[in-house]
């Protein structure tokens, strides 16, 4: 991967470049111009894969201790407090809440002191 600020006109893309919503900004094998680089920066693209860069291998997942019922219960309490001013009826907010509960429960199970931050 090459950071957008290090891109140069004439470099060739190894893979498609899409914005955060999935819209195609440039296809693989496109030879970059200054305009392409400007578009990437405008749309918040921070890095792209260039033909000369190696494809990064998938990073192994770090091992985590499975969450206990006690950790999940406490994680729900913490998340309830953190999300107290949000509309959990909204599907996106409910999904963020659920992800947060899982993340907090893992932190609690792995010994991090999440309670101190609330």
The pLDDT value recorded for residue 103 is: 85
Rg of the Cα trace of the chain? 21
Query: Kindly report the CA angle at 57 between 32 and 112, in degrees rounded to 5?
Result: 115
- Residue 36 confidence (pLDDT) above 90: yes
Burial class from Cβ neighbours inside 10 Å (0-12, 13-18, 19+) for residue 102 reads middle
Identify any residues that bridge with 50 across adjacent strands, giving them in sequence order. Answer: 13
Task: Give the pLDDT confidence score for residue 33 in this predicted structure.
Answer: 93
Cβ(47)–Cβ(4) below 8 Å:
yes
Please state the rounded mean pLDDT for residues 15-19. Answer: 88
Q: What is the CATH number of domain 2-48?
A: 3.90.105
Q: According to the model, what pLDDT value does residue 58 have?
A: 43
Which pLDDT does position 66 carry in this prediction? 58
Q: Which helix (H) or strand (E) holds 72?
A: helix 69-82
Q: Render pLDDT for 46-68 as a digit per residue (tens, 0 to 9).
A: 889 898 665 554 444 444 455 67
Read off the DSSP letter of residue 29: T
Please give the pLDDT value at position 34. 93
**Average pLDDT in the chain:** 81
Tens digits of per-residue pLDDT, 79-112? 999 999 999 898 888 888 988 888 888 888 777 5
What residue spans define the domains of the chain? 2-48, 69-117
Query: What's the CA gap between 27 and 36, in Å, rounded?
Result: 11
């Amino acid at each position: 991967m090459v950071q957008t600020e290090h891109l140069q006109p004439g470099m060739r893309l190894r893979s498609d470049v899409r914005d955060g919503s999935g819209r195609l900004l440039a296809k693989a094998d496109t030879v970059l111009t200054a305009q392409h680089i400007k578009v990437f920066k405008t749309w918040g693209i921070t890095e792209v894969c260039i033909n000369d860069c190696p494809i990064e291998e998938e990073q192994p997942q770090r091992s985590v201790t499975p969450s206990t019922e006690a950790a999940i219960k406490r994680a729900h309490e913490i998340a309830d407090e953190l999300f107290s001013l949000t509309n959990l009826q909204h599907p996106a907010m409910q999904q963020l809440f659920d992800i947060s509960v899982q993340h907090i429960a893992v932190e609690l199970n792995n010994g991090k002191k999440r309670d101190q931050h609330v």
